[in-house]
Structure 1
């Protein structure tokens, strides 16, 4: 049980590995984005779990080309030393056209161990 209170932080205060991942995604650099994850990490997006580097690479490739959209990092939250939330505002040609998504990161040994993406 952790006793730290979640706190709002400046987006540029997110850990380096999260920033590296987010920048790689914006630049559609699948290899760099994949390098931010542990080899046995999990990503949950749209209710689907992608476990391990090959599945995450497939997810990164598919999601990069599925829709055209703009993405803006609008907020960040530190839950504790290994859990962070990055909030993004997306607008594009996906169903609904506009959404705010929370990227919930779990870190371990300087890499992303888990990523949950949800509204």
Structure 2
């Protein structure tokens, strides 16, 4: 059964699907970390750079398929469609929340 996403994750996915970088950044803490495609991005400036590059390159949208929570850790399965081989693909977004902000995001299969 899919858990109801907390507001920071709902806001993140809504902004991601609109390709709105400024709105995508709002739910992240100032010292957040994102790990994607084998690279780690720390802090708002680095995360903005990652968002701009991946949005420009892939133009993805995400349909949330399932979500589970364990304390402050959320695992969200999404059907990701965009400009990449194998689209659509099922990816997992592993979030850690702290004080109602995204403190960590790791994206993988």
Count of equivalent residues: 109
> 2:95 matched to 1:94?
no
Deviation beyond 4 Å, 4+ runs, structure 1 = none
Residue of structure 2 in register with 1:77 after alignment? 68
The TM-score normalised by the length of structure 2 is 0.91
Contact 1:69 1:93 in 2 (8 A): yes
Please identify, of 15-24 and 89-98, the stretch whose mean Cα deviation from structure 2 is larger: 89-98
Please identify, of 50-59 and 96-105, the stretch whose mean Cα deviation from structure 2 is larger: 96-105
Consecutive unaligned residues of structure 1, counting only runs of 5 or more, are 1-7
Secondary structure of 2:80's match? strand
The TM-score normalised by the length of structure 1 is 0.84
> 2:15 matched to 1:24?
yes
Superposition map of 1:54-65 within 5 A: 54-65=45-56
Q: Give the structure with higher Rg (CA).
A: 1
> 2:2 matched to 1:9?
yes
